[in-house]
Amino acid sequence: MKPVAIIGGGITGLTTAYQFHKKKIPFHLYESGSRLGGVIETVERDGYLAECGPNTLLETSSEITRLIEGLNLTERRCYADPEMKNRFITRNGRPVSIPLSPIAFFTSSFFSVYTKWRLMIEPFLGRYSGDKEESLADFVKRRLGNEFLDYAINPLVGGVYAGNPEELSVKHGFPKLYALEQKYGSLIRGQINGTRERKRKGTVSKQDVKMMTFDKGLQVLIDAIANRIKEHTDNSTTISRLESDPDGWELFSSTTKESIPRKHSAVLLTAPAFTMAKMEIGTSGDTPLKELSEITYPPVSSVALGFRREDVGHSLNGFGVLNPEKENLNTLGTIFSSSLFPNRAPEGHVLLTSYMGGSRSPDLALKPENEKIDLLLNDLKKLLHVSGKPTFINIRDYEKAIPQYVIGYDRFKNRMDQVEKQQPGLFIAGNCRNGISLSDSIMSGYSSADRIEKSLNETNILKPTGV
């Protein structure tokens, strides 16, 4: 049979390709850049090991575990130090460890008595009955109050989405949170009942699962998959047009200005939304996904700095610190990278990975590197009592970083659904459709492989043996 075309060599495309490799379904992957992995990239230099994009992977599904096992990476897996349980939130200019258990929540002074009372009455508030789609901010204020929004949700959203809770849709950006209220009428009741359901399904809640990476960073995962599929991969190949006929799909490259010299049985698009928006589909030059160009991708800078241990006054005894917007700092937050995992910094040194920009302050991510470092050092001096000059610097700027699942995101998902129906054999996946986390993107690859295999079987393209 003709190979399936996978356009985009990020983790979703790679996971799909690996599943086809295992199932012996012919495929070919096209990546516009010179390397595979998308934003997942690990830099090893001067004794430091720094991530340019995501820092950790969550094994939220047994399928992710099987992926690691199938790639023979089990022995290279590293879990976060269990002693580093603290999560810090900046409050009144200093990092404060947030309560992580119900008892700690009610005995801690981090939240006011009023907010504690709001949490106690949450199970009795009932479901949202309005017709208007809620923002995450409105959802949290309605159920838990303003303080919980300002000092729990706002910094969390800054760390996960680099986004703004006033703009993000609770239904699309946090679908599991939305589903808890819809199904159980309460977040607390839903959390209790959801735990039972996850046990039956063999899944783990993101807040309960252990964080992990690999001995040489997340690049290990990318390299392992890339090595398995290298004979079926073309890097530095930008696909700009797709055409279908009864004989299959033909791809046209803007790199060579010519048709790819092979036909394909189906096509999977996993590129960013702003790339898919420009893609011509059909012979008339139409761009049916052009509406996706309106999806917001704020700029983000990832800045990894190394310091001598004696130049950092804070104990760094935790995951990191997140900064609420109300604290008026330059950074969204900082991960204590060398506290979480071994061999991230030379002996006697530490590695801190900070993030700047996002929807909160996009202009900061676009500043020159020297200005960004000065602004970052100002924050680190205030929060972590950092002195002295960095002994390591690694900066990675993303002009368009993370898709924002804002209010009204239905129209983008509906458009992707419509194009798939109008173009049989065309499939769309990735973090603009199936969730933004690394684990979400991996699972999107799994589901894409299953959907395409089912379609090929239904159209009798796959032989009974599956080859």
| Phi-psi category of residue 8: left, alpha or beta, with phi > 0 → left and psi -120 to 50 → alpha | left
- Examine the pLDDT at 424 and tell me if it is beyond 50: yes
| CA dist list (Å): 42 to 4, 419, 444 | 29, 35, 22
465: in domain: no
Q: What is the CATH number of the domain that holds 179?
A: 1.10.3110.10
**What are the tens digits of pLDDT across the range 142-194?**
999 999 999 999 999 999 999 999 999 999 999 989 988 988 888 888 887 86
Instruction: Tell me, yes or no, whether 136 and 277 share the same domain.
Output: no
**What are the tens digits of pLDDT across the range 296-321?**
999 999 999 999 999 999 999 999 99
- Examine the pLDDT at 200 and tell me if it is beyond 80: no
Which range is least confidently modeled, 21-35, 125-139, 144-158, 193-207?
Answer: 193-207
Residue 435: phi and psi, rounded to 5, are 110, 150
Q: What is the pLDDT of residue 465?
A: 45
3-state secondary structure of 156: helix
Instruction: Tell me, yes or no, whether 231 and 268 share the same domain.
Output: yes
387: in domain: yes
Average pLDDT of the chain, as a whole number? 93
CA 243 to chain centre: 31
- Examine the pLDDT at 93 and tell me if it is beyond 80: yes
75: in domain: yes
88: in domain: no
8-state DSSP, 102: H
Instruction: Tell me, yes or no, whether 328 and 342 share the same domain.
Output: yes
Query: Alpha-carbon distance 290 to 424, whole Å?
Result: 19
Instruction: Tell me, yes or no, whether 9 and 52 share the same domain.
Output: no
Sequence-separated (6 or more) residues with CB below 8 Å from residue 38: 8, 9, 10, 11, 53
Residue found under tokens 């063999």 = 202
Q: What is the CATH number of the domain that holds 60?
A: 3.90.660.20
Query: Alpha-carbon distance 192 to 136, whole Å?
Result: 21
**Portion of the chain with pLDDT greater than 70, in percent:** 96
pLDDT tier at 285, thresholds 50, 70, 90? confident
Of 169, 201, 233, which one is at a domain's C-terminal end?
Answer: 201
Instruction: Tell me, yes or no, whether 287 and 310 share the same domain.
Output: no
8-state DSSP, 49: E
Q: What is the pLDDT of residue 208?
A: 66
- Do β-strands 333-335 and 318-322 pair in parallel, antiparallel, or remain unpaired? antiparallel
215: in domain: no
pLDDT tier at 210, thresholds 50, 70, 90? confident
Q: What are the residues facing 185 on neighbouring strands?
A: none
Q: What is the pLDDT of residue 466?
A: 43
Q: What is the pLDDT of residue 299?
A: 98
Query: Alpha-carbon distance 212 to 151, whole Å?
Result: 26
How many domains does one find in the chain? 3
Q: What is the pLDDT of residue 198?
A: 59
- Examine the pLDDT at 467 and tell me if it is beyond 60: no
Q: What is the pLDDT of residue 204?
A: 58
Which range is least confidently modeled, 61-70, 88-97, 100-109, 280-289?
Answer: 100-109
- Examine the pLDDT at 288 and tell me if it is beyond 90: yes
Crossing angle for the helix pair 11-23 and 438-458, to the nearest 10 degrees: 40
pTM: 0.93
Instruction: Tell me, yes or no, whether 416 and 280 share the same domain.
Output: yes
Q: Which domain holds residue 434?
A: 4-39+220-295+405-458
Q: What is the CATH number of the domain that holds 229?
A: 3.50.50.60
Query: Alpha-carbon distance 307 to 287, whole Å?
Result: 49
**What are the tens digits of pLDDT across the range 318-367?**
999 999 999 999 999 999 999 999 999 999 999 999 999 999 999 999 99
Instruction: Tell me, yes or no, whether 272 and 410 share the same domain.
Output: yes
Instruction: Tell me, yes or no, whether 21 and 56 share the same domain.
Output: no
Which range is least confidently modeled, 32-36, 97-101, 332-336, 403-407?
Answer: 97-101
Of 379, 398, 417, which one is at a domain's C-terminal end?
Answer: 398
Burial of residue 351 (CB within 10 Å: 0-12, 13-18, 19+) is: buried
16: in domain: yes
- Examine the pLDDT at 457 and tell me if it is beyond 80: yes
Helix (H) or strand (E) holding 144: none
Of 201, 233, 268, which one is at a domain's C-terminal end?
Answer: 201
CB 110 within 8 A of CB 98: yes
Instruction: Tell me, yes or no, whether 195 and 116 share the same domain.
Output: yes
Q: What is the pLDDT of residue 33?
A: 95
132: in domain: yes
Higher pLDDT pick, 299 / 99: 299
Q: What is the pLDDT of residue 48?
A: 98
N-term to C-term CA, the chain: 8
- Examine the pLDDT at 213 and tell me if it is beyond 80: yes
Instruction: Tell me, yes or no, whether 10 and 155 share the same domain.
Output: no
206: in domain: no
| CA dist list (Å): 442 to 13, 333, 400 | 9, 25, 20
Instruction: Tell me, yes or no, whether 63 and 186 share the same domain.
Output: no
CB 12 within 8 A of CB 216: no
8-state DSSP, 133: P
Instruction: Tell me, yes or no, whether 415 and 393 share the same domain.
Output: no
- Examine the pLDDT at 207 and tell me if it is beyond 80: no
